[in-house]
């Protein structure tokens, strides 16, 4: 007695996905990937602004410390794409001082778009003198990235705030 088994399912079901199903899956994956990439770019932009704000605040603090330490004024030189601190340090036995310039460039398309010192709006490029013995007037700087997102950096003698 010969018994043969026949698989009825093989005759009725197709062996894969239809073209419509494959296209639908690809469209959903594309939409999810597009949203993820846009979100990551926004985060990178915010991070670049925050980093530039921190660098700028650090440069002002450095200038203030150098002015107090050596009892000599320092200059904070600002342009729309870069900034530097000119500080003076003693060279050793002599009374002469040597100028140190610490240039920093804004990265990732960040630029300085607005600057206010002591309540007055200044035109860039600008050099601001930081003196050792007097309280510094507030310094307000607006940084902007390529997308137009802005960060306000406000520095006074006692504190630095990023908004």
Which segment, 19-23, 46-50, 154-158, is predicted with the most confidence on average? 19-23
Q: What mean pLDDT is predicted for residues 79-92?
A: 75
Question: Does residue 24 lie within any of the structural domains?
Answer: yes
Q: What is the CATH number of the domain that holds 65?
A: 3.55.40.10
Q: How many domains does the chain have?
A: 1
2 pLDDT exceeds 60?
Answer: yes
Average pLDDT on 146-163 reads: 71
Domain limits for position 82: 18-162
Q: Are strands 150-155 and 160-162 parallel, antiparallel or unpaired?
A: antiparallel
pTM of the predicted model over 0.85: no
In order, the DSSP letters of 98-129 are EEEEEEEE--TT-EEEEEEETTEE-PSSEEEE
- At 155, list the tokens: 């520095």
131 falls within a domain: yes
Q: What pLDDT, on a 0 to 100 scale, did the predictor assign at position 95?
A: 47
Q: Is residue 148 part of a domain?
A: yes
pLDDT at 26: 92
């Amino acid at each position: 007695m010969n018994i043969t088994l026949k698989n009825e399912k093989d005759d009725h079901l197709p062996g894969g996905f239809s073209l419509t199903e494959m296209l639908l899956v690809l469209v959903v994956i594309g939409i999810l990937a597009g949203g993820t990439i846009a979100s990551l770019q926004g985060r990178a932009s915010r991070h670049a602004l925050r980093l530039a704000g921190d660098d700028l605040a650090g440069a002002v603090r450095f200038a203030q410390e150098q002015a107090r330490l050596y009892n000599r004024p320092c200059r904070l030189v600002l342009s729309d794409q870069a900034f530097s601190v000119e500080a003076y340090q003693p060279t050793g036995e002599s009374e002469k001082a040597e100028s140190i310039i610490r240039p920093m460039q804004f990265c990732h398309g960040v630029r300085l778009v607005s600057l206010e010192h002591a309540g007055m709006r200044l035109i860039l490029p600008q050099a601001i003198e930081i003196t050792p013995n007097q309280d510094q007037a507030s310094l307000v700087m607006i940084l902007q990235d390529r997308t137009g997102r802005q960060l306000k950096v406000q520095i006074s003698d006692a504190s630095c705030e990023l908004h």
